[in-house]
Structure 1
């Protein structure tokens, strides 16, 4: 413990004015100079000791909540017939002696009577504190057969008396494992063992706490205890409760990769989605999701680029095999991308994904070239559907206001992906939505809604590219009719600049 050295010095140099033995009836208290650190009650140790000659105090047995250890010494704990040390535990009423850590969860401290224990010097010497105190060098008139009287101050907090009695009883056994069997017992005993410098108990408590699981309340007590430990003592406990600065980010990123790049079942993905929803830092979740989105999207783009512009020159079979691999890579990672997009929209952290999706003229050009060819139909027939679903999720979130982006981003989003939609529609590569409406029709309506939010010149440019939305029967494309009617209505409005304030 951090205060171990200070307590050791105090223990190894007891005040020479302290007296042991049974010759005098007058209590001799330690006398400290006025400028001594121990002269102030605020700086005296919790285990301050008074040598007392009165050996006839009554013993008040206290119920002991700790497991009773098996005695291994020739003398037993609290045995009046063979004791050579009379230890009085008394509650110090001074509020300045209250320690920082409580041994009990009870909100109020109850008064406790003094306790007198009949102990043995050979057992007490297992604590360096008592070993120094019982040294003959501090006795004015050493008597081998005299009963030494010691008073030990106990802080007035719940459980403090029981913890000290339990620790003193442990001095009579070498089998600490049979006595310390719960985290609560280890947490109660560790501060007292450190205070009295019972090193065997300190080391066992630390090993026990490091090896067993904790409840949340017990972990709170461990965290409160760590600042009072030395660096060497606390390192194993700190490694368990303190992560690296970016450990949460790496953990979340690893979970996302695990569910997207493996054949994870639906309930596994649902569990990770729940973790992301309930995570405390939205900023960190957004950073992790952006990172995963960028990584996965890059793989899809590179695969489609290699498919549309193969750099391999060889026989036809080798080229076809490589092309198949590229399409399967794009398809697999496209599914991962769709899951990421849906989670980002759900968590409202998809703004950067929309911006990235709107800046893909080269990628959308590759898609148009690929989908005009029928080779993909026999290899990955669902590839257009996956990429259109990603586009649909993002543009619907933009149109609904779930994701707020600038007008220029909205324009580029429609401008880059509108040609892909047209190619997929012409090649019958558009699936149905959950409402049994063709996906291309849903995208057409959403694109037109976004166009209606743009400045008039931009809307004019994009509406002209939407003429392919028309059908043989004009009544079958009301969304297109509404979009043009809206634009012409706005075009007839007189300029509003002169009406501004």
Structure 2
């Protein structure tokens, strides 16, 4: 032992001695030299290196599957012992001197199957689905398919179906021609006759062969053929999903596979669709005609027979929102209807088609309810706060606020569809509400100014084009009430943009004749001097009016 160690050199003593072996961890340090990559000593090496001898190879040593194979070791001229392999972490070699027996060779893993079908070899055919190849240059894999439903009358895999997609992929399927031709009239017309197949087989050809070139969706075509041999096709479609079932339905219609068409339609009708799948179905039904007896259920989901105008339905939804008694539900429904009626919405393309008379009928109803509530609020009572709290399932203040929100929401809808001019005139002529505003408590009367604020903002932005007499009547009736209630609007804005209100109130006021502007600006100036911050800031509009009224223009002719 000592003599052998002396002949092998000092390197071996270092490896087997007490010094720590060279370690390697998951870091950025260099990878230790592997025995497989050790350089081959040349003939000009030192005599000590030339005298080294490797341990003899074991003739009974078997290599592991997945380990360094003999082909790679052979390239090194037999310098490495095949038993000296690396451990899985490639940290240190396994000592070949150990007496651990080598395990038997591990067979290669079976190829993965895409579908729940049995895979068979050429000696033992079994039902299996086809596999796509990356390109036509490689030899296509031969796959056998046989229907399992009738085991006693099993057919013969006597036909090869070769599919070539537009993307270059290929599929070769070995099938039972009796099942294929019996299910599809398309393949029945393409299949060669028995005498032609026998002649081809005698000449050394492959027998019956059908080639289909230029397939758009190779996977869907393959799935449609597999559907003919599937004993439970509904389960296969459910595993594939709706989108794949629609593709298979298109292929089944192309190859005249009636049973497959019915199966696909039955599955598609029984499951929900998303928007993309719905559009896909609409395009498919626009290009293909299916039997109404089996497609009427899907058509009922795609194209209802009794069409009802979406405009009439939208008016009914608006009516339901204004009659709602739940504050949270009313806000949610308002957001939903606003999305449906929006000009950028995918559901409603032409909002101008809404029935104007029906919408204004809802406005009249809300206004009448608001007038009744204010009459209830100002009537004399003997108990403090009785008119505000009782007479209804909810407090009077809450019911007034609800009708105010309804009218503001209706105004927004009318402004968006450009038919709000009549609402401005309707609000300007509410003399009864203006008189009750003076008698009502400030805690409820400011709700009327919230409606006036929406009208003034729409007028100042130019979204409403009213006649001059209507604008004069509006400011004559509701400008003073706005000055009184602006402090309450600051304390309880409820989503109102006060800065926008101030700006558009002044812009709307500047649309009046200069004489009327002077009267209104004088009233505002006196109120602003008294209330200060609780009055709307119309200084910029006042400056514009002053310049237009008292500063002569340079182009004005001199007397």
TM over 0.5: yes
1:237 is aligned to 2:292: no
Q: Is the 8 A contact 1:184 1:218 kept in 2?
A: yes
Deviations 1:433-456 (A, max 9, x none): 2588xx9x999966862365236x
Is the counterpart of residue 63 in structure 1 residue 131 in structure 2?
A: yes
Quote the Cα distance in structure 2 between the aligned partners of 1:434 and 1:371.
19
Q: Which residue of 1 aligns with 2:168?
A: 110
The answer as to whether partners of 2:187 and 2:255 remain within 8 angstroms in 1 is yes
Given the alignment of the two structures, is residue 265 of structure 1 paired with residue 328 of structure 2, yes or no? yes
Name the counterpart of 2:416: 349
Report the CA distance shift for 1:173/1:274 in structure 2 as closer, same or farther (over 3 A): closer
Contact 1:371–1:424 (CA<8 Å) still a contact in 2?
no
Displacement of 1:228 in angstroms is 0.9
2:12 equivalent in structure 1: none
Question: 2:277 is matched with which residue?
Answer: 218
In 1, are the aligned partners of 2:457 and 2:505 still within 8 Å (CA)?
Answer: no
Label 1:373 to 1:192 Cα distance change in 2 as closer, same or farther (>3 A): same
- When residues 295 and 442 of structure 1 are mapped into structure 2, their CA distance, relative to the original with a 3 A threshold, is farther
- CA apart distance, 1:72: 1.5
**Aligned ranges for residues 365-444 of structure 1 at < 5 Å?**
365-374=431-440, 377=441, 383-399=444-460, 401=461, 403-406=462-465, 408=467, 412-422=470-480, 431-434=488-491
| Counterpart secondary structure, 1:359 | helix
128, 146, 149: which is aligned to 1:72? 149
Matched position secondary structure for 1:449:
helix
The Cα of 1:392 is off from its aligned counterpart by: 0.8
SS of residue in 2 equivalent to 1:120: helix
CA distance in 1, matches of 2:249, 2:273: 16
Larger RCO: Structure 1 or Structure 2 (Cα < 8 Å, ≥ 6 residues apart)? Answer: 1
Contact map agreement 2:245 2:268 (CA 8 A) in 1: yes
Closer, same or farther in 2 for the Cα pair 1:235/1:417, shift >3 Å? farther
**Cross-structure match for 1:207:** 266
Cα deviation digits, residues 67-122 of structure 1 (max 9, x gap): x998221358xx7xx42x732323479xxxxxxxxxxxxxx61242554423435x
Determine the structure 1 residue equivalent to 2:234: 177
TM-score by length of 1: 0.57
> Compared with structure 1, are the counterparts of its residues 130 and 251 closer, same or farther at alpha carbon in structure 2 (3 Å cutoff)?
same
Alignment check: 8 A CA contact 2:220 2:248 kept: yes
Counterpart CA distance in 1 for 2:543 and 2:245 is: 78
Normalised by the length of structure 2, the TM-score is: 0.52
Correspondence for 2:514 among 428, 448, 459? 459
Other-structure match for 1:33? none
Which consecutive residues of structure 2, in runs of 5 or more, have no partner in the other structure?
1-125, 134-144, 377-386
**Counterpart-to-counterpart distance in 1, 2:406 and 2:163:** 66
TM-superposed CA distance for 1:367, in Å, is: 0.8
- Partners of 1:359 and 1:139 lie apart in 2 by 88
| Alignment-derived partner of residue 193 in structure 1 | 252
330, 339, 345: which one pairs with 2:409? 339
- Between the two proteins, the alignment pairs up a number of residues equal to 385
Distance (Å, rounded) in 1 between the aligned partners of 2:362 and 2:188: 67
Relative to structure 1, is the Cα distance of residues 333 and 174 closer, same or farther in structure 2, using a 3 angstrom cutoff?
same
Q: Which residue of 2 aligns with 1:279?
A: 345
1:92 touches 1:155 (CA, 8 Å); kept in 2?
Answer: yes
The equivalent position to 1:86 in structure 2, one of 158, 162, 170, is 158
Distance 1:228 1:383, change over 3 A: farther
Cα RMSD (Å): 5.4
Closer/same/farther in 2, CA of residues 206 and 264 from structure 1, 3 Å limit = farther
Q: CA deviation at 1:175?
A: 3.1
The residue number in structure 2 matching 1:316 is none
After TM superposition, list the pairs within 5 Å mapping 1:32-51 onto structure 2: none
Q: Which consecutive unaligned segments of at least 5 residues does structure 1 have?
A: 1-58, 94-107, 311-319
C-alpha spacing 1:183/1:473, structure 2 compared with 1 (3 Å):
closer
The answer on whether the counterparts of 1:89 and 1:115 sit within 8 Å (CA) in structure 2 is: yes
How does 1:303-342 map onto structure 2 within 5 Å?
A: 303=369, 332-341=402-411
Indicate the SS of the match to 2:490. Answer: coil
Larger of the two Rg values belongs to structure: 2
Displacement, 1:370? 2.9
State whether residues 404 and 450 of structure 2, in contact with CA within 8 Å, keep that contact through their aligned partners in structure 1: no
Cα distance, 1:405–1:276 mapped onto 2, change above 3 Å: closer
